[in-house]
């Protein structure tokens, strides 16, 4: 007797119910995954991109702040603010200076400490920097004297500042030297209306 | 009644969708929380760092300025430190407000500072040696004892061949006179007359000379003695003060009598003033911004380190 393949049992209500359940769970997983991905894409992507950019800039800003804090501790801000060639009436930091060159020397034949700090921190990682000296006039306006300029800062440049009070007894750190009181008329920052305090100079470093 | 199996499957489907929606809501809420926690503390922290940086800078600057003032005359008086800190504080405040909505105030806390001897000073050399009420014959100080630590020093620029005279009178009488006048050919004549009638004369080139009256030095070189034979304490007077311009400072102990009517207490433009020597300067620093406000006190031991 020839027997054919066994006949399939017609789907019962139990099978249908399980199929519905399975379908429901799979749909939920699909919808949930899609929604999560969509949410991730919409909310996080711009933030993520911005966070990376902002974080990088924040880190650079922190490093610039740290360099200035170290410079302040090592008295390098005073040294830089007084690095003025009173004979030529200009910054003692040569304009021909290229990143990677040996730092210019002070009147004490020591390399300019702020230059060393900036070179070690930024030039070695291919960042560029400008250093400006901001001071106030007797008319209470702010003027700027560039100490060293490498170029025009980029769009993502960060800036950090630290101030220092200069008094008449401080010595210029670039030849021919002499006290600030004795060279007040040749110095970039105007002598304020006080017998001791010459000016309060802000050292501003821009890194990009 | 027995539920239909179709209904059961659909109920499970609805349940699964509800669970998915709940999970999604949870994810959204958690995302917001994390974002908030990251953002807010960051801003306050940055501002606090800025406050710390500014206070550190002010501490260094106040130290240096006090040191510098102390180097010049070996002491610092309340008025001159106040004046310097006012100019410094104004400039710092303007610098800060240029960059952020914040305010910095730096002031000498006179009541908390250590005060010592009295200081009489005129800092503008082009001013005549006159009293506050423009008298040319007047008393600088009475009952004063001078020594190395309480000097009377002046830079004087005589304007006439008629001398300006500084007179010291001893407690038991007798006097000692120092005459300073314009000499011939751009010189300054200095003549000291002792109580016994002997005189010492010196001529110094230039239109001005630096005298340490109580130390007996002319331009840093010992040339005469101060009031030999007279008993301390002394009364110190000036005559013809209008015939010379001069910047001077006198340090006297508290037993001396200073006629405060002869000196300003809040001078301008180098007027003669009376003030007190500082042994310790306490400087109040206040930083106020829209996010934080901080107060700090800097103590500078003059001739020592700050705290």
Interface test with B, best of A12, A14, A23, A24 (most B CBs within 10 A): A24
Tell me the pLDDT band of A44, cut-offs 50, 70 and 90: very low
Q: What is the pLDDT of residues A1-38, one digit of tens each?
A: 556 666 666 667 677 777 777 787 888 788 777 777 77
Written as six digits, the tokens of B13 are 């489907």
Paired tokens of B242: 């209008």
**Minimum-distance CB partner of B16 among A28, A142, A163:** A28
Residue B130 has pLDDT above 50, yes or no: yes
- Among B3, B10, B11, B13, the residue to mutate for chain A (most A Cβ within 10 A): B13
Is B49 at the interface with chain A, CB within 8 A? yes
Q: Is the pTM of this model over 0.90?
A: no
Measured CA to CA, the distance from residue A207 to residue A65 in angstroms comes to 11
Residue of B305, B261, B255, B249 lying closest to B77 (CA atoms): B249
- Model confidence pLDDT, tens digit, residues B18-58: 887 788 788 777 766 555 444 455 566 778 888 888 999 99
- Is a pLDDT exceeding 60 seen at residue A50? no
The answer to whether residue B238 scores a pLDDT higher than 80 is: yes
| Structure confidence at residue B5 (pLDDT) | 61
Mutate to test the interface with B, among A161, A167, A170, A171 (most CBs of B within 10 A): A167
pLDDT tops 50 at residue A88: yes
Record: contact B69-A196, CB cut-off 8 A: yes
**Using an 8 Å Cβ cutoff, are B33 and B40 in contact?**
no
pLDDT above 70 (res A66): yes
User: Which of B95, B121, B124 to mutate to probe the A interface, most A CBs <10 Å?
Assistant: B95
| H helices present in chain B, as ranges | 5-73, 78-99
Measure CB to CB from residue B91 to each of A19, A36, A136 and give the nearest one. Answer: A136
Nearest CA to CA, how far is A127 from chain B (Å)?
23
**H or E element: which one contains A105?**
none
Classify residue B270 as left (phi > 0), alpha (psi -120 to 50) or beta: left
Other Cβ atoms less than 10 A from the Cβ of A38: the count is 11
The answer to whether B171 and B233 have CB atoms below 8 angstroms apart is: yes
By C-alpha distance, the chain B residue nearest A55 is: B42
Residues of B in Cβ contact (< 8 Å) with A164 = 57, 60-61
- Across the interface, whether the CB atoms of A35 and B87 are under 8 A apart is answered no
Predicted pLDDT of residue A99: 80
From the centroid of its chain, how far is CA B237? 28
Confidence of residue A48 (pLDDT cuts 50, 70, 90): very low
Report the pLDDT value the prediction gives residue B20, as an integer from 0 to 100.
78
This model of the complex carries an ipTM of 0.75
CB contact under 8 A, A28 and B91: no
The answer to whether A69 faces chain B, any CB pair under 8 Å, is yes
Judged by CB atoms closer than 8 Å, whether chains meet at A202 and B95 is answered as yes
CB B189 within 8 A of CB B182: yes
Residues 3 to 22 of A: which have CB under 8 A from any B CB? 13-14, 16-21
pLDDT digits (tens, 9 = 90+) for A105-161: 999 999 999 999 999 999 888 889 999 999 999 888 999 999 999 888 887 889 999
Residue B300 has pLDDT above 70, yes or no: yes
Most distant pair of Cα atoms in chain A: their distance: 128
pLDDT of residue B47: 81
| A24–B16 C-beta distance less than 8 A | yes
* SS3 at position B4: coil
């Amino acid at each position: 007797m020839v027997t054919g393949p066994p006949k399939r049992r017609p789907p019962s209500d139990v099978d249908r119910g399980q199929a519905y359940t399975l379908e429901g769970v799979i749909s939920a997983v699909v919808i949930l995954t899609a929604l999560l991905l969509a949410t991730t894409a919409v909310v996080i992507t711009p933030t993520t991109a911005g966070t990376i950019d902002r974080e990088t800039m924040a880190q650079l800003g922190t490093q610039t702040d740290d360099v200035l804090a170290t410079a302040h501790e090592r008295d390098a801000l005073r040294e830089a603010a007084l690095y003025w060639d009173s004979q030529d009436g200009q910054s003692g930091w040569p304009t021909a200076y290229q990143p990677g060159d040996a730092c210019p020397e002070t009147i004490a034949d020591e390399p300019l400490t702020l230059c060393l700090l900036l070179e070690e921190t930024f030039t070695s990682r291919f960042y560029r920097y400008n250093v400006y000296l901001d001071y106030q006039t007797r008319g209470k306006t702010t003027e700027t004297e560039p100490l060293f300029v490498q170029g025009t800062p980029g769009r993502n440049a960060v800036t950090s500042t630290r101030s220092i009070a200069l008094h008449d007894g401080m010595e210029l750190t670039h030849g021919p030297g002499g006290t600030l009181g004795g060279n007040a008329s040749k110095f970039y920052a105007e002598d304020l209306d006080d017998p001791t305090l010459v000016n309060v100079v802000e050292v501003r470093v821009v890194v990009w | 009644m027995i539920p239909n199996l179709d209904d059961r499957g659909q109920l499970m489907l609805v349940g699964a969708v509800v669970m998915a929606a709940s999970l999604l809501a949870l994810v959204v809420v958690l995302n917001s929380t994390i974002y908030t926690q990251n953002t807010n503390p960051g801003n306050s922290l940055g501002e606090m760092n800025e406050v710390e940086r500014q206070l550190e800078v002010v501490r260094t600057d106040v130290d240096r300025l006090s040191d510098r003032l102390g180097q010049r005359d070996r002491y610092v008086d309340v008025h001159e430190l106040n004046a310097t800190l006012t100019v410094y504080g104004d400039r710092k405040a303007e610098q800060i407000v240029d960059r952020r909505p914040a305010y910095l105030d730096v002031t000498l806390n006179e009541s908390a500072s250590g005060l010592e001897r009295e200081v009489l000073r005129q800092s503008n050399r082009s001013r005549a040696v006159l009293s506050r009420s423009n008298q040319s014959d007047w008393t600088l100080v009475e009952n004063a004892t001078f020594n190395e630590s309480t000097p009377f020093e002046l830079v004087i620029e005589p304007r006439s061949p008629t001398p300006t005279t500084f007179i010291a009178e001893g407690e038991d009488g007798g006097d000692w006179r120092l005459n300073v006048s314009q000499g011939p050919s751009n010189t300054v004549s200095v003549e000291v007359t002792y109580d016994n009638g002997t005189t010492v004369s010196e001529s110094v080139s230039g239109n001005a000379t630096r005298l340490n009256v109580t130390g007996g030095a002319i331009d840093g070189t010992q040339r005469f003695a101060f009031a030999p034979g007279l008993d301390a304490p002394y009364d110190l007077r000036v005559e013809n003060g209008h015939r010379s311009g001069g910047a001077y400072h006198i340090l006297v102990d508290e037993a001396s009598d200073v006629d405060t009517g002869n000196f300003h207490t809040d001078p301008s433009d180098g007027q003669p003033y009376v003030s007190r020597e500082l042994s310790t300067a306490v400087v109040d620093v206040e930083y106020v911004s829209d996010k934080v406000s901080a107060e700090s006190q800097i103590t500078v031991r003059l001739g020592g380190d700050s705290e």
